Structure 1
Amino acid sequence: MSKRRRVQDLSDEAEGSIFDAKSEKFYFNVYSDASVHERMLEDMTRTKAYQDAIFKFSDAIKGKVVADVGAGTGILSMFCIQAGAKKVYAVEASDMAEQARGVIKANGMSEQIDVMQCLVEDCDLPEMVDVIVSEWMGCMLLYESMWVSLLCARDKWLKPNGLMWPSVTELHLAPITNEGLWQEKKEIWDSVNENYGVNMSSMFPFAWTCLCRSVNIIVLSAENVLARGHVIAKFDMATVKISDLEHVKSDFSFASMGRGVLHGFAAWFTAAFDVRQNDSELNSVVLTTSPYNEPTHWEHSVMYIEHPVTVDQDDIISGNIKITTNKKYSRWLDVQLTCRVKDNPEFEQKYTMNDLS
């Protein structure tokens, strides 16, 4: 279960419209629930990447002041203290802040870590910080828009030449096949005749079309990937602007690695923790959510196309993708994808990425 799926599970607990003033309260209530944090802590790829970076590059932390943005249970704050940080300000807007205080106290770090329960936008730290560490990334990197608070923290609190961790994030895209899901969906409607004596096979095209309206969060493997993934967006977290993240646009062109059926496209991200040593050498720890690696709680963000197309080796799959924050509720995403396969007519599809899809 991804963080996004936990939001879906709790969606019927939100009062009123998802667009009303209570929606933000609901968003932070989700992160007050232990299950979200259990899922994140069980994701060893995620948590170990942060621990490895903080410990491996401890010279960048020792004796420094750190802000942990969206601190959750406080684990990243405690990693920083273990690596020698002088002080950590753990900023957490949800009621999980109270639980974090208990965990930090149990680990004997209450004097070194100040837990501040408030929005970053409303928070004033008593001093500037040398490092900002944050696990802000959502599905398809940008979902949930926590980067808005991260950039606010950077602009308010980070010293000149201070360190942002992760330092660089990249969003990747690749064409994919998923014959297993295609057959599974088809069999659901074919089986109605066998089970109940009513033919509903004509429902399958409509059911597939419904699937194609939203970004689907699932786990893929390397076998699903039809062509080498491309980086469609790269962000330097020390300099990126909100406008850069609100509107992401990229062209793409893939050459199929073999024969298969193009069912859609998948997006995933990487996050690099960079430090420069000896004033020149760049060293990094990289967190990847690629389908070529172990699955993470972010899984993969899949956009299916209404009319799958058979491709042969070296066939060109080209087009462009636009990812924008939803105009009504900025934690959601809207995706527009335009594609051409070989010399076939170009087609366009639009997707939503929200808590109800």
Structure 2
Amino acid sequence: MMTRRGDARRSTPQFTPTKHKAKTLKQEQMCRSPKFVNLPAKPVYSMTSRDFQMDTNAHVEVIGEQLKDFCCINFYQAAIIQNKHLFRGRTVLDIGCGAGILSLFAAKAGAAHVYAVDSSNVLDYTEQIVRDNGYAGVIHVIKGSLANIELPVAEVDIIICNWLGYSMLFQAACGMVIYARDKWLKKENGIILPDVAKLFMAAVEENKIKNERVEWWNDVYGVNMKCMRECALSEPSFQLVQPQQLLSTQFGIKYLNMYTATRKDLNFRCKYMLEMRRSGYMDGIVTYFHVFFTKSHTPMGFSTDPCAMRTHWMQTVFFLDKSVHVTSGELYYGGIEMCSVSRDFDLNNMELGFEMFSGDPAQLQLEAEMRWKLKPHAAIANDKIKANEKENELEKKGQDQQLEKVITIKKNPVSPKISIKVEKEKKSARSPVSPTSVVLGDYVYPCVAGKKGKKTKHSKKG
């Protein structure tokens, strides 16, 4: 290596590391973000993607989706805050508390002690939320399943729990409420919120979603995948149903009272009768439920039917293998069964059986017979919500664009052809217009058309 003359004889200076002065508190705050430094040593902060698959309730997006169900959360808030006389000075047990929103409502209503129980790592967030809201002395967070925990008290006055599921029972927490009721709830004047629910069914016309989910598998890019069609047909669709898609009247198939219900009541079989309100093709059945809190001084509840405000449960549609043509005013009979696959009343793995007959009760004709499997799912509901919202947004946008187009043509008629086309698309109830007339806005102008073989005046100029 070549060096300048005299560089080789020079001694390399020795540098000694200097001691840096300690940073002040303000300098440390400027150099680091307090949101990500010194996080508490909690299990939820070290969870991986595989852990969240086993504990989905701890994921922040799942927590947000549950709290954004305004219809459900507003019901619980109103039922608790407007009945402070029931909560004031009482001991409350919140089962499956999640982020602790119901526990906070109970504490604000004047509860003396609230025991928030959950087996998910979401409780790491709950503890911080409780402290940040100043209720650490009232709300006691307990982690674990109900069968393995011990409460500091022998009995509680009130049990609050969002124990509903899809089709009321699928993935529901009814079993935990029944267990806690028999073990801790006061025998006299004990309260369960909510306490009553009723499941309904109706015939539905939903050809579009059925084609997308089921019939699409008949021909996939020229490949036979009909085996996948059977699998897609055996699982229900959790989606939003419009009121105009209902073909029949609704029929109540299950009534559940949490004060008297047992685990055997979570499986049921009953008969039904549907009266068709209009003619059409019945693509399947839809189920939804109503919920009530009967101990309130005013009747309180909410519904998940198609005419009500959207909830995260939406509606559950069970598609038939072959659509059935129904006639207005006709009656259909049959039986429906909903039960757990295992013997331990596991509500996370259920089946729904269905059979439908028509005609004279003495000589019934079998129209449909199906059996569906309700298996645990993670993202189906969220995907369907986003898909339905996008579809409604596009539909509304298209209607607005069509309306703007009609208004523009009415104000500024460009050509008679466009005006006539708009009138045909609108299919209005006006008097029939002859083909030799032009429609401009709300007025009809007759055209001077010459007879065949004769030239009209100024024909070259049009």
Shift of 1:36: 1.4
Moved over 6 A (4+): 189-192
**Aligned twin of 1:155:** 182
Query: Aligned match of 1:218 in 239, 242, 249?
Result: 239
Equivalence map 1:1-357=2 (5 Å):
13=50, 27=54, 29-127=55-153, 128-160=155-187, 161-184=189-212, 199=222, 209-245=230-266, 247-275=267-295, 277=297, 283-327=298-342, 330=346, 331-342=348-359, 344-355=365-376
Shift of 1:132: 0.3
Deviations 1:62-81 (A, max 9, x none): 11111000000000000011
Structure showing greater Rg = 2
Query: The residue matched to 1:121 in structure 2 has which SS?
Result: coil
2:210–2:319 CA contact under 8 A, matched in 1: no
Query: The residue matched to 1:211 in structure 2 has which SS?
Result: helix
Letter of the 1:137 partner, please give it. L
Query: The residue matched to 2:332 in structure 1 has which SS?
Result: strand
Query: The residue matched to 1:293 in structure 2 has which SS?
Result: coil
Question: 2:105 and 2:90 mapped to 1: Cα distance?
Answer: 13
2:213–2:232 CA contact under 8 A, matched in 1: no
Unpaired runs of at least 5, structure 1: 1-11, 15-24, 193-197, 278-282
2:162–2:173 CA contact under 8 A, matched in 1: no
Distance 1:208 1:219, change over 3 A: farther
Letter of the 2:86 partner, please give it. A
Deviations 1:195-253 (A, max 9, x none): xxx656x86x76654432112211112112111211111111111001111x1111110
Distance 1:190 1:131, change over 3 A: closer
Query: The residue matched to 1:122 in structure 2 has which SS?
Result: coil
2:218–2:229 CA contact under 8 A, matched in 1: no
- Count the aligned residue pairs: 322
Deviations 1:274-331 (A, max 9, x none): 2165xxxxx3211211111122101111111101011111111221111111218822
Question: 1:276 and 1:252 mapped to 2: Cα distance?
Answer: 31
Deviations 1:100-135 (A, max 9, x none): 010011100000000000101112212211110001
Query: The residue matched to 2:183 in structure 1 has which SS?
Result: helix
Question: 1:289 and 1:76 mapped to 2: Cα distance?
Answer: 20
Distance 1:206 1:258, change over 3 A: farther
Distance 1:186 1:39, change over 3 A: closer
1:51–1:79 CA contact under 8 A, matched in 2: yes
Q: Which has the higher contact order (CA 8 A, sep 6+)?
A: 1
Identity %: 24
Question: 1:354 and 1:318 mapped to 2: Cα distance?
Answer: 27
Letter of the 2:241 partner, please give it. L
In angstroms, what is the RMSD of aligned CA positions?
Answer: 2.5
Letter of the 2:90 partner, please give it. K
Question: 1:175 and 1:153 mapped to 2: Cα distance?
Answer: 37
Unpaired runs of at least 5, structure 2: 1-48, 381-462
